[in-house]
Amino acid sequence: MQNTPLAAFPITAPTASGHAEGVSNDEFRAAMSRLAAGVVLVTAQEPPLDPDDASAPGGEDVGMTATAFMSVSLDPPLVLVSLREGSRMDDLLDEQPLWGVSVLAESQRHIAGRFAMKGRISDRLLFEDIPYVRGPVSGAPLVGGALATLECRTEQRVPAGDHTLVIARVLTASVPSADGGPLAYFRGRYRQLG
């Protein structure tokens, strides 16, 4: 194998929409859109407004569609989700260590779209007509008909550019539905395999 001198790779100045390395946001998005990803719904329950007052209203359920979710370790069982820094879910998981994940089936595209909307209505209304059960450990909503559900406890938060990587231990895992294929995200659209 022949070595190529570094001088053969010219250093280019960043473009107006690029970074020092020369990759623009649009180029990066286009390249990463070619990576197919599974789709999950990350959920958590806000803590009560006043935990010392049993009559105080409980916190609201919060949900967020995510495609940047992955298994990290088998022993111990760890997963990772990437959250936009300063988003409602990022702020909530900074104070609430327990949360849930529902791996969405291909028939649940409407759920993914609903929880991915910008400027959406309140989360309470988003959950209104979706069948779910409460996780016995986290209290988070776990979507009925999901291919798999997990309950997690945050172990580490890692700042990464404009996102936060949340690494969590899996406390429960179940496979409530064996029917249907996974919902996938590819080239900016939800897709079915097959």
- Residue 9 φ then ψ, to 5°: -110, 95
- Is residue 158 within 8 A of residue 72, CB to CB? The reply is no
SS3 track for 65-103 = EECCEEEEECCCCEEEEEEECCCHHHHHHHHCCEEEEEE
The reported pTM is 0.82
Cross-strand bridge partners of residue 103: 40, 148
Count of other CB atoms within 10 angstroms of residue 135: 25
List C-alpha distances in Å: 192 to 30, 109, 112, 181. Answer: 20, 9, 13, 7
The two structure tokens encoding residue 2: 């022949």
* Strands 37-38 and 183-186, sheet pairing: antiparallel
For the chain, which ranges sit under pLDDT 50? Answer: 1, 6, 9-16
Q: Which residues are within 8 A (CB) of 135 and not within 5 positions of it... i.e. 6 or more apart?
A: 100, 141, 142, 149, 151, 172
pLDDT digits (tens, 9 = 90+) for 33-75: 777 788 999 999 988 776 677 766 667 899 999 999 999 999 9
List C-alpha distances in Å: 134 to 13, 102, 185. Answer: 52, 12, 26
Dihedral of CA atoms 58, 64, 66, 71 in degrees, nearest 10, equals 0
Q: What pLDDT is stored for residue 11 in this prediction?
A: 44
Length of the chain: 194
